[in-house]
Amino acid sequence: MPPSSPPPIDFSQLWALSPEILLTLWGLVLLLVDVGPLRGRPGSSRRKTVGSLALIGPIGVFALLLAPLVAGPGAGGGDPDPTLVYGTIAGDPLATSFNGVIALLLAMVIGMSMAWDFTEHWGAYFALLLWAAVGMMVLVAAEELLILFLALELMTICLYLAAAFEKDKRRSAEAGMKYFVYGSVASALFLFGLSLLYGLTGTTFLDGIRRVLVESAAATGEAGGLSGDLVGATAVLLILVGFGFKLAAVPFHQWAPDTYEGAPAPVSAWIASGSKLASLVALMKVLLHALAPWAGAVGGEAGGGWVLIVAAIAAATMTYGNLAALAQRNLKRMLAYSSIAHAGYMLVGVLAAMVTVRSGSSAAEAAGAVLFYLVIYSLTTVGAFAAAAWLARGLGRDDIDDLDGLGVRSPGLAVCLAILMLSLIGLPPTAGFVSKLAMFLEVLNADASARSTLLLLVALALVNSVISAFYYARVLRALFLRRSDRSPGPAPRGVSWPIVLAALAAVGFGLEPAPLVDSMRSAASAMLTITLPPSPPDLPAPAPVAAIPVSGGMAMQK
Amino acid sequence: MATLLVVTVLLPLLGGLALLLAPKLDHKAARWVALATTLATLAFSLVLVGAFQVGDASAQFAFEGADGHAGLPWVAVGSGPGIRFALGLDGVALSLFALTSLLLVTSVFCSWSSITERAPTYYALLLFLETGLLGLFASLDVVLFYIFFEFTLIPLFFLVGLYGGPERRRASITFFLYTLAGSLLTLLGVIALIVVHYRFSTPQVLTFSIPELTEGLSRITSADWAFTRPLADSFSLSQFLLQPQVFIFLLLFAGFAIKVPLFPFHTWLPLAHVEAPTAGSVLLAGVLLKVGGYGFLRFNLAMTPMGTAVLAPMLVAISVIGIIYGALTALAQTDVKRLVAYSSVSHMGFIALGLFSMTLVSVDGAVLQMINHGLTTGALFACVGVLYERYHTREMDRMGGIWKRLPLFAFFLILASMGSAAVPGLNGFVGEFPILAGSFSRFPRATVVAAIGIILGAYYLFLMLQKVIFGPLREPGGEGHGHGHDDSAGVPPVQWYEIAGLAPLLALIVIIGLYPKPFYDRITPSVESIVARFPAEGAGMSTEPNQTVSAPGEDSPRALLARSAQVTAP
Amino acid sequence: MLPNYGFIGLLLLAAVAFAVAPLVVVALVAPRKWSVEKGEAYECGVRTTGETWVRFRIQYYVYALLFLVFDIETIFLYPWAVSYLGLAEAGFGLFVLVEMVVFLVLLAVALVFAWAAGDLRWV
């Protein structure tokens, strides 16, 4: 034990983690309710009961998030150090606002899940959804590599299982298997990258890594970048493999189309929205904050860094995703490729944020634009997947052609779906347009030295938007311009309200984006400025980390 | 007045929403609601026309925000004025604004009897389109402009796709994707303009306001932006194309050229026109194509004048090719609607020629010609609709001597055709003559070729008249479809709503032809403020712009012709 | 210069030839006889009976998993118990105790779930 004993655990900090704790416990309750009181009831009745009970989880999260607002301004504000539990988890506006977003997405996904019977094990299914949400929330808040990795694993293991939940269908098992095999390899590589990073810097705290890198760069007098640093470059590459897998960025995307197509629609929606959302936030935290000194220059005067790698990945991802989506006939598979393409756009935004972080001006705006884009994308894509759930319930399949004639049969929902498609293309007056505009404006405004590369990327992104219009327009055509005698029937409530909500968000934030943009900006500035107080046991020796026997992942450190 | 402008823009939107949300209306109730809304909008825009200060070049009816910028703050961007909900009208926008609200009334009348199924949705889409178009012309903010610009796509997509002819699906998808493809490049150009302005202006202001951008960009003295080398002086093509003004010009050009449409980008137009319902064609030709011309003027000419200047020879060449190509293709058509559609390609070529010749007279003429073309082509398409509703065909070879059956209709068609063929005394002449006169001072050879287009235009229009109107009576319905024993029973006379739709257009065709001064009075000062920023001919570096404020009252075309030498000649 | 690389090239060729030659000779010379035994998965001379893929009853897996629950519990409990005193001195006593209780409750819920779901019955 170190001579100066660390401060005792402040249990009041648990209040900030209450959403995660609530969802964890509530998942356990659902699990037991399903096999206990509801035992022997038919599957569809348990689906409704357990599903309605599961909705209490996200609603409770909202209540917990709103409680400080009701209690008064003095309750939560003014804390100079927003980190919790020895600086491993952040309790900043970023975490709070994204807890809200994740809870909202979770509620929509739960609603969709209640549309039809694709499994018998409802308690386990909804518990897995809730626990995946816990993983996402911790991932967004993580300020330390081990917590980050554990959260990532918690999230993806729940999703592996959920993807394979439709046991009658071979494609669902295939989806879970492919997701699992790719995911575990990517996780292993990611963990190796993290351990290299720890070996190089002697700390696992994001802010600590940043400080060590800044100091070493100052000591050697180099302007940053990775030229000549083989181990560092390997670490960055391996970390990018891990994140690339989670984001479904080319060339780590192969699992995505098969998984999205095979998994039940709500699970695909959850993978496409929540998982991507949380992973991208974590990626931004690691790259923009911890590894910023290794970014290197886009302009090319100071050697290579991860910026160039990310630029290449972004360009390949958006182009490949859009071109491949053109050939798709299945709605979920098309949305899978569209989600790949959107990951590419977002990486362009991350690049711009990096360039502005380095030049020091308006960093929060650029990163905030990416977060805004991310939130809007997640909401709209969940709405789009709800349409797939509707088809799967009514027709047992979910091809784009199955949408034929819905514009006549259910005009209201068809209009909402059309709005979602327009938002995904990025047409005004939807939020998709505003978010693209905001992000690309930041990109172009980033830095003179990087402008030619970034301009190229933005041009590529806009050309890609044009390509994307072709396959989204296919949905519009099916909805409004075709007739069909097969109909999925009227939409159940669980499908209709996520679609309507997503469409309302798309139009509402398209016309009045200011509140969301502002909150995302403050979240981004919290993300980029978070610094550990100098005294806590993080620097420079790694030993104090081992003194906290909280984390189960300590074994790897010996 | 500023409030009235906002109300005018949003009124059709409200009317459309009311139509959509109201419980099941039959087509009779729906059309009356639509008519009332469009008439109210027209009345409001006429009030705006009346209140317009003649001689003032700047945008009028704009809200003055508390921080000195026009409009209400909407999305804050950085510390600058941000994206704002800013509406206002200068002379050019006012003319197109009023034209839009007039043509919408016509298009409601065009649909009066032909649309019976799902009529509330149809009229709601028409009204949404009206809001999009009015908002587009009234926008003083680039983002707002772009939003309305793209918004017009959506109702038109559904109008063509749901209510169009047999090939409507292909037509609507082609139209949608083609236009979208170009407009996204335009968006990139617009963003680039904003960024250029931000980079080079001192102090750095991130503004989205169209007037501020125009003004600010013209003040930039940095050689990176202001100096633009013509192709002949460039070492290589890429060096030429990568100059900021040229590059941004081409980005902006992509979307607008497809809208206009200029010659190689016109392939979507015949398909969309032929398949669209009559009202769709009227609006497509009457207003939607003007959006391209308006964009050229507002963005390409006003914000990248040097780029326009160095590219002008090529642009003029394209325009002239379009004029001749459109006319020749129109000559080969047997379908009346296709003929009118290709005549649009030809006439829009004239407008582009006028714009890219970059003289005050030609640009002035081009703007007036936009109004004229909206009126004449709108009237022509409406006439074709009248014909189609009675005979269900548009093949010229199957009809003839309609004069004897529908004398009033024949009069309308002849008048509209003569206006379109630029017969002196009608509106086409007062628009096309200044275009040719202005262009001749810069591009004499191209202008001579373009003049051939006028002759061809008269040729194909009169050929059409000869086939349809004159000669022995031949009616398609009577050729073996049963009711040959009593032809007149199947062909109702021209109805009151058809007259009501066409009469205002025809009246304006004559009025503009006889007395264009009030129109030029409103257009010229705004055009002049744009033309004043053009570089002197042959100069590489733009000189400090000398603002010439025109004195009202002496702006007849003849006077302008004389004065253009001061503004544009070296 | 060039002759030196030439030797390396010759050496490479010789090496490749050395590897390829036996294969070629065998392909040309060796007699070929096919029999059932040669096609078998096990080549120890005994014919296999039944399917190669034998399925075990699913209950074995469930039991293996449940065993793992208790196994992990013990593995984690032991080091915890060893270091508990030291941690308590450092002021972490209550916290560490709560952590372990949370851990045990989670495992207990897992066991209850398996029980209630009927996985403990041998059907």
Q: Tell me the per-residue pLDDT of C41-90, one tens digit each, with 9 for 90 and over.
A: 665 666 667 776 777 777 788 888 888 878 888 888 899 899 888 888 87
* Chain A residues 477-536 within an 8 A CB cutoff of chain B: 477, 480-482, 512-514, 517-518
Q: Is the previous residue joined to B535 through a cis bond, with omega within 30 degrees of 0?
A: no
Hey, what amino acid is at B477? Answer: G
| pTM higher than the cut 0.90 | no
Q: Using CA atoms of B239, B242, B245, B248 in order, give the dihedral in degrees to the nearest 10.
A: 150
| pLDDT higher than threshold 60 for residue A553 | no
| pLDDT higher than threshold 80 for residue C26 | yes
Give the pLDDT score at B78: 64
Give the pLDDT score at B116: 83
In a domain, C96, yes or no: yes
Q: How high is the mean pLDDT of chain B?
A: 84
Record the tokens describing residue B29, joined without a space.
Answer: 């109730």
Tally of structural domains, chain C? 1
Q: How far apart are CA B278 and CA B405, in angstroms?
A: 21
Q: What are phi and psi of C114, to 5 degrees?
A: -65, -40
Higher pLDDT, B430 or B480: B430
Pairing of strands A83-84, A89-90: antiparallel
| pLDDT higher than threshold 80 for residue A70 | no
| pLDDT higher than threshold 90 for residue B96 | yes
Give the pLDDT score at A554: 36
Lowest mean pLDDT among A285-289, A355-359, B225-229: A355-359
Give the pLDDT score at A360: 62
Give the pLDDT score at B475: 77
In a domain, C85, yes or no: yes
Q: Which residue of A has its CA nearest to C99?
A: A550
B75 close to A (CB below 8 A): yes
**pLDDT band at A536; cut points 50, 70, 90:** very low
Q: Identify the residue among A12, A24, A32, A50 best suited for mutation to test binding to C, counting C beta carbons within 10 A and taking the highest.
A: A32
In a domain, C64, yes or no: yes
Categorise residue B55: left if φ over 0, alpha if ψ from -120 to 50, beta otherwise: left
What's the length of chain C? 123
| Residue % of chain C over a pLDDT of 90 | 11
- The per-residue pLDDT for range A136-181, each reduced to its tens digit, is 999 999 988 999 999 999 999 999 999 999 888 888 999 999 999 9
User: If you search the block for the tokens 């002196």, which residue do you land on?
Assistant: B424
In a domain, C25, yes or no: no
| Geometric angle at alpha carbon B422, from B416 and B423, rounded to 5° | 85
Residue A88 Cα to chain centre, angstroms:
20
DSSP letter for B549, please: P
Mean pLDDT, rounded, for C91-113: 85
CA distance C65 to chain A (A): 16
Q: Which residue of A has its CA nearest to C107?
A: A28
Q: Identify the residue among C76, C98, C109, C120 best suited for mutation to test binding to A, counting A beta carbons within 10 A and taking the highest.
A: C109
Mean pLDDT, rounded, for B41-62: 87
| pLDDT higher than threshold 50 for residue B538 | no
Q: How far apart are CA A335 and CA A328, in angstroms?
A: 9
Higher pLDDT, A191 or A71: A191
C95/A36 touch (CB, cutoff 8 Å), yes or no:
no
| pLDDT higher than threshold 50 for residue B452 | yes
Record the tokens describing residue B344, joined without a space.
Answer: 């649009």
**pLDDT band at B63; cut points 50, 70, 90:** confident
**pLDDT band at B261; cut points 50, 70, 90:** confident
Q: Which residue of A has its CA nearest to B200?
A: A448
DSSP letter for B82, please: B
| pLDDT higher than threshold 50 for residue C93 | yes
| pLDDT higher than threshold 50 for residue A556 | no
C96/A549 touch (CB, cutoff 8 Å), yes or no:
yes
Residues of chain A positioned with their CB less than 8 A from the CB of B143 = 437
Parent domain of C95: 58-116
**pLDDT band at A234; cut points 50, 70, 90:** confident
| pLDDT higher than threshold 90 for residue B204 | no
Radius of gyration of chain B (CA): 23
Cβ–Cβ under 8 Å, residues A225 and A291? no
Helix, strand and coil percent figures for chain B, each rounded to 5: 70, 5, 25
A481/B162 touch (CB, cutoff 8 Å), yes or no:
yes
Give the pLDDT score at A76: 45
- The per-residue pLDDT for range B377-400, each reduced to its tens digit, is 999 999 999 888 888 888 888 888
Lowest mean pLDDT among A30-34, B147-151, B553-557, C71-75: B553-557
| pLDDT higher than threshold 80 for residue B564 | no
In a domain, C23, yes or no: no
Cβ–Cβ under 8 Å, residues B37 and B15? yes
| pLDDT higher than threshold 60 for residue A32 | yes
Give the pLDDT score at A514: 84
Q: What are phi and psi of B559, to 5 degrees?
A: -65, -40
A37 close to C (CB below 8 A): no
Q: How far apart are CA B75 and CA A435, in angstroms?
A: 12
Give the pLDDT score at A557: 38
What's the length of chain A? 558
- The per-residue pLDDT for range A85-139, each reduced to its tens digit, is 777 888 788 888 999 999 999 999 999 999 888 888 899 999 999 999 999 999 9
B168 close to A (CB below 8 A): yes
Give the pLDDT score at A372: 92
| Residue % of chain A over a pLDDT of 70 | 86
| pLDDT higher than threshold 50 for residue B87 | yes
In a domain, C76, yes or no: yes
| Residue % of chain B over a pLDDT of 90 | 31
| Residue % of chain B over a pLDDT of 70 | 91
Q: How far apart are CA B493 and CA B483, in angstroms?
A: 17
Mean pLDDT, rounded, for B440-445: 89
Domain spans in chain B, listed from the N-terminal domain onward: 304-475+492-539+549-570
Higher pLDDT, A202 or A533: A202
B195/A444 touch (CB, cutoff 8 Å), yes or no:
yes
Residue partners of B22: CB distance under 8 A and separation at least 6: B33, B120
Residues of chain B positioned with their CB less than 8 A from the CB of A422 = 154
Lowest mean pLDDT among A290-304, A408-422, B101-115, B502-516: A290-304
Lowest mean pLDDT among B50-54, B158-162, B230-234: B230-234
- The per-residue pLDDT for range B294-338, each reduced to its tens digit, is 999 999 998 988 888 888 889 999 999 999 999 999 999 989 999
**pLDDT band at B368; cut points 50, 70, 90:** very high
| pLDDT higher than threshold 60 for residue A67 | yes
Mean pLDDT, rounded, for A536-554: 39
